[in-house]
A and B are shown apart, each in its own frame.
Chain A
């Protein structure tokens, strides 16, 4: 019996399942349960009846289209930018020059900075009487402070948010890419050099393809977070740039309607799943090429 069970499960022992059990239980209780409740809120009215009203209301909301637009634009602007920057940083550090370890620590610093603090920092830079304007003014470049954050110039405000988010979250992508780079077997690299691929060629034809799984993971993770975080957008741009996650938050805490808040959250979740599927499909690569 036991043997057949094991055969069915595809392993020669039940051990892995025992090892997984604590995590599954944990996530089940503290995550899946409230998740289920929260999702149900979006579909169920107070009297228990199943309804799509809340979704209808969400779509009819004056700010829904704006929020959707900006959430989307932020994601497609920030993620590629971060990917490129992180790749550059990772490649530089990976050359292993003297002090590279220290520089890696520096690059990873923003990992330790919460959204709250990051928003505060960049606000103090971009605000009308903040550091950036103060520097420009002291250098005589401008006569009057520039309104970086202004509903009259949403483009500039958007840029400020992109800069702040980029600064804050590139480290996440960096760390994933560095790990991926390390996992590339030295043999491949040496073989490539022997065969004449150096410098840029090596990067383009050898390293990047082997980095694909990491790039993919980085893309997925970063996009999921990009869709969700709004702390920095809120701190810098307030109501000038509405985003979906922010709307969910306000519906719940300010307007006290958890149903619509959950509708927004479910919508976000669906978008995240959709984008993940998209990435997995069109950036297909073999899973975990190198193993120890």
Chain B
């Protein structure tokens, strides 16, 4: 490899490593804190690596009243949200990607505008409505509002995905005798699957991390962030660390499994050269 090229490569690697460290170090800190023995958490100076690792904090957290329940609730809500969002958002994305219809830009702009109002404040009028409809304090209720929150993203992402699927292929399928839906199902959908998976991941994470609406709309069936937020006042520091770490972990894992599709989020493939 020529000298300037080598130099460039090295700089490149230094650059990405620096950025990677920047991202990882804070996560490392909270991970460490969750496994630090209780008496060392308050020490000054705080040890970067604790003298010994302890599962105490995690165990205490997991055994705390309501944690496992709320964990399950969070999973349920996130999965429901995923299902609803894709079911409702994917068709919309397809429509915007494929058709040029009156109101197209208005729809896209409108979707964006819905996110301009602080969602925390929406939850309260919604709570009143939910009580009337019997959806208050139910997991479905929370999933529904999470879907409303994730929908704009889902539509934007699926629009991009379907835009990345060449129209010609579908048209070819149709000339060969497929119905419009058939062309969609056999041609567009499989090609879009990776991207849809990425959209699913995004939605899952949004729902998993959402705190305010979940707190306001539930009393007994809390999700994990709602549970942590409401108990945080009375909880000791290590509890909060453990809670924080626990919230992060599933999201990180989920993203790891879908990482291949991160590139496909907006359509278009990339190859490592």
Contact = CB atoms under 8 A, between A and B. Distances in A.
Contact between chain A and chain B defined by CB under 8 Å:
yes
Given A108-B255, A109-B27, A120-B244, A30 B144 contact: yes
A106 interface: yes
A77 B17 CA distance: 25
Main secondary structure of the interface of A (DSSP, over half): helix
A22 interface: yes
Interface in B68-126: 87-89, 91-92, 94-96, 98-103, 107, 111-118, 120-126
A130 B244 contact: no
Nearest to B11: A92
Interface string B142-181: 0011011001000100001001111100000000000010
Interface in A59-73: none
Contacts of B228: 116
Contacts of A110: 23
A124 B48 CA distance: 12
A8 B94 CA distance: 21
A137 B45 CA distance: 7
Contacts, number: 274
B44 A20 contact: no
Contacts of A175: 262, 265-266
Nearest to B155: A23
A125 interface: yes
B113 A113 contact: no
Question: Interface size bucket, A side?
Answer: 35 or more
B240 interface: yes
A131 B48 contact: yes
Interface of A: 8-11, 13, 15-17, 19-20, 22-24, 26-27, 30-35, 37-39, 41, 88-89, 92-98, 100-117, 120-122, 124-125, 129-131, 133-135, 137-138, 145, 167, 175-176, 178-180, 182-183, 220-221, 224, 228, 231, 245, 248-249, 252, 258, 261-262, 265, 268-269, 272-273, 276, 288, 291-292
Closest 5 CB pairs of A and B: A179-B266, A112-B251, A114-B209, A134-B45, A30-B148
